[in-house]
Amino acid sequence: MKNFSKNNYSTKRNDTENRRSQSKNNFKKGNDLNTRDNFKRRDDSNRRDDSNRRDDSNRRDDSNRRDDSNRRDDFKRRDNFKRRDDSNRRDDFKRRDNFKRRDDYERKDDIKSNEYNYLNSKEKPRNSFNQPQTRFSSNAPQTKNYSENSSKKFQLSPNERNFEDWVWGKHSVFAALNSERPINRIWCTSEIFSSEKFYLLLKDLKSKGVLIEEVTWSRLSQLTSGAVHQGVALQHASTESISLEKLIDISKSKSSNPIIVALDGVTDPHNFGAIIRSAEAFDCKGIIVPQRRSAGLTGTVAKVAAGALEHIPVSRVVNLNRAIDELKKKGFIIIGLSGDGQVPISEFKEKAPFVVIVGAENKGISLLVQKKCDYLLKIPLKGKTSSLNASVAAAISLCYLSNS
């Protein structure tokens, strides 16, 4: 049996332990390297995912920006199309107005030239001996053309009006509004009505009974026959109107049983002037006229009235039904002239302050006014004629009522 020294045994043991520790260390180092590679791979994958996400978000932002820009472009295109359409419509309206004006001017020139040629043809020459004799053939087409031409010569344009009592233009109308001359009617556009220069004046005049009508630019051009109106025009009245309360006070101060004439829908200025003339002749104390659906106090009315408009007061009211209610409160009896009335005017014997209401020729008194009347009187007719003129009926009724 061999004897081993302790040193050899210890060295062998140390070698094995060293080998074991080296193998353990190598295994640990391998594991560390593997874990490091795994961490690196994970970091790389995370970085790649982050970069992909960033790229996706950038792409989305780019697509959203492109959509927004496209929408803006679409809105701009639509606005441009709308503006082009509006400008084309305005140009079309301007062209139509220009064509209408040109046609009106050409018609006027044709009428004047035809009248001038016709009058020159009718003049007799002084020395008729040297004039050649004209011979007319008996062809039918020539006579037909002559009749057509003669009918065209005397056709008058509907735009030919009498503008003696009209004023248009901003400065001239503003001066007329500030003056003391009475005004019958005002036409203006929405820009003029809402302006600071005209708003207060127009509001004050409207409260006094002046009819103010807001119209379009083309309608005002049609009313003024194509004049440069600048958006406003007015018509002067032949006399100044007063309030209803003032008319009642004047009528009761002059007579204990006054007669007042009210008009409902009388739009013909000749009938209006004739009624004023008859009312003043039979000692009526006033005339009541609604602002709308009635003839104005124009020069034609003053001419037909033959001076009577200067001696009888006129009140223009906003609503005739309200005026009738107020007259009833003051003790007036409301009488309406109607062909369907049940009481003949010759049998009416009441004595009190009267308000005689005269309606239009074609429609008569409106239903609301008829309901507010205390009496509906009729004029008995014996002939075949079914109705009378409004001014004639008013004159006959006023004659009966004033004598009774």
Per-residue pLDDT tens for 212-222?
888 888 888 88
pLDDT of residue 232: 86
Comparing 157-161, 217-221, 228-232, 357-361, which segment has the lowest mean pLDDT?
Answer: 157-161
Q: Are residues 189 and 290 in the same domain?
A: no
The confidence band for 272, taking pLDDT boundaries of 50, 70 and 90, is confident
- Report the pLDDT averaged over residues 233-237: 80
Which structural domain range is residue 209 located in?
A: 166-236
Q: Are residues 248 and 393 in the same domain?
A: yes
Rounded distance between C-alpha atoms, residue 277 and residue 361, angstroms: 18
Rounded distance between C-alpha atoms, residue 172 and residue 267, angstroms: 28
Q: Are residues 271 and 378 in the same domain?
A: yes
Q: Are residues 346 and 395 in the same domain?
A: yes
Q: Are residues 289 and 352 in the same domain?
A: yes
- Burial (CB < 10 A; 0-12, 13-18, 19+), residue 71, is exposed
The confidence band for 241, taking pLDDT boundaries of 50, 70 and 90, is confident
Comparing 12-16, 65-69, 147-151, which segment has the lowest mean pLDDT?
Answer: 147-151
Rounded distance between C-alpha atoms, residue 285 and residue 258, angstroms: 6
- Report the pLDDT averaged over residues 377-394: 85
Residue 117 pLDDT greater than 70, yes or no: no
pLDDT tens, residue by residue, 350-369: 887 889 999 887 788 888 88
Q: Are residues 251 and 381 in the same domain?
A: yes
Q: Are residues 381 and 289 in the same domain?
A: yes
Residues 6+ apart with CB under 8 A from 241: 182, 208, 209, 289, 297, 314, 315, 316
pLDDT of residue 261: 92
Q: Are residues 386 and 318 in the same domain?
A: yes
Report in angstroms the alpha-carbon separations of 97 from 83, 220, 229, 272, 325.
21, 12, 14, 34, 47
Q: Are residues 267 and 354 in the same domain?
A: yes
- Burial (CB < 10 A; 0-12, 13-18, 19+), residue 45, is exposed
Q: Are residues 284 and 354 in the same domain?
A: yes
pLDDT of residue 127: 41
Q: Among 236, 267, 284, identify where a domain stops.
A: 236
pLDDT of residue 357: 92
E strand or H helix that includes residue 79: helix 6-122
Rounded distance between C-alpha atoms, residue 232 and residue 168, angstroms: 6
The confidence band for 108, taking pLDDT boundaries of 50, 70 and 90, is low
pLDDT of residue 30: 66
Comparing 7-16, 219-228, 326-335, 358-367, which segment has the lowest mean pLDDT?
Answer: 7-16
Nearest to 302 by CA among 236, 204, 372, 227: 236
The total of structural domains in the chain comes to 3
Q: Are residues 231 and 252 in the same domain?
A: no
pLDDT tens, residue by residue, 163-172: 667 788 887 7
DSSP annotation of 334 reads E
Q: Does residue 23 sit within a domain?
A: no
Instruction: Return the amino acid letter for 400.
Output: Y
Q: Among 219, 236, 253, identify where a domain stops.
A: 236
Rounded distance between C-alpha atoms, residue 347 and residue 350, angstroms: 9
- pTM beyond 0.95, yes or no: no
Q: Among 191, 220, 236, identify where a domain stops.
A: 236
C-alpha count within 13 angstroms, C-beta hemisphere, residue 235: 21
Nearest to 257 by CA among 351, 145, 386: 351
Q: Are residues 210 and 268 in the same domain?
A: no
Most confident of 100-109, 118-127, 263-272: 263-272
